């Protein structure tokens, strides 16, 4: 059962990887001023929100791997100024994705369910969660933050890329076992997602 849960988590991270790649490649085509100035909910403009998406994952992974203390890992999120455009964000994402993949490849079943104790800044007492819950928080954060970026893209009048989990499953399955779908099939799926 633990092995199946770990496999499911790896699928979620594969979706995260695929969706971020699609989104970042799309963002390279946006005018620089839209990337830098179009407001997003919660984390500033599109560029700052993309930086937040990437740096949060980097922060968690460096802490989970034991490379940094929790306080030092949290400080990583404040580096958003170093991701000034979509190309810089894509370069940083590639490094974070490599770190993530290496971590997941080395993860053993027992570690996946092991409780980790930590103290959040300002928290009155330490907390404890199993690793699998932390990893699911990380993929959930990716979905949430990409949705913020996609909403901001829509506000510019531009159609954003489709990065849903359903689209990921269909594309990755089709790429390996089925012929390409027709435009009618794609339109029907998009209607279901709306």
Listed by start position, the domains of the chain span 2-163
Average pLDDT, the chain: 87
Whether 21 and 171 have beta carbons less than 8 Å apart is answered as no
Which residues is 127 bridged to in the sheet? 118
CATH 1.20.120.450 fits 2-163, yes or no: yes
Residue 124 has pLDDT above 80, yes or no: yes
102 vs 6, residue with greater confidence: 102
**pLDDT the model gives residue 8:** 87
Residues with Cβ < 8 Å from 192, sequence gap 6 or more?
166
pLDDT, tens digit, 9 for 90 and up, residues 86-118: 999 999 999 999 999 999 998 887 888 889 898
Residue 72 has pLDDT above 70, yes or no: yes
For a pLDDT cut of 90, what percent of the chain falls above it?
62
| Distance separating the N- and C-terminal Cα atoms of the chain | 34
148 vs 7, residue with greater confidence: 148
Whether 93 and 24 have beta carbons less than 8 Å apart is answered as yes
Query: Rounded CA gap, 166 and 189, in Å?
Result: 9
What is the average pLDDT across 38-55?
Answer: 90
Residue 68 has pLDDT above 80, yes or no: yes
Residue 190 has pLDDT above 80, yes or no: no
**pLDDT the model gives residue 150:** 96
């Amino acid at each position: 059962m633990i092995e199946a849960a770990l496999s499911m988590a790896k699928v979620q991270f594969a979706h995260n990887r695929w969706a971020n790649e699609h989104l970042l490649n799309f963002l390279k085509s946006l005018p620089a001023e839209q990337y830098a100035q179009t407001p997003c909910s919660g984390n500033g403009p599109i560029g700052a929100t993309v930086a937040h998406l990437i740096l949060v994952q980097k922060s968690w992974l460096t802490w989970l791997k034991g490379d940094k203390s929790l306080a030092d890992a949290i400080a990583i999120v404040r580096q958003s100024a170093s991701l000034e455009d979509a190309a810089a964000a894509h370069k940083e994402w590639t490094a974070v994705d490599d770190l993530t993949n290496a971590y997941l490849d080395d993860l053993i079943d027992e570690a996946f369910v092991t409780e980790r104790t930590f103290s959040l800044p300002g928290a009155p007492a330490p907390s404890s969660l199993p690793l699998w819950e932390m990893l699911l928080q990380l993929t959930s954060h990716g979905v949430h933050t990409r949705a913020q970026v996609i909403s901001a893209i829509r506000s510019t009048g531009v159609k954003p890329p489709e990065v849903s989990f359903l689209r990921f499953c269909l594309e990755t399955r089709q790429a390996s076992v089925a012929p390409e779908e027709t435009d009618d099939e794609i339109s029907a799926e998009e209607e279901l997602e709306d």
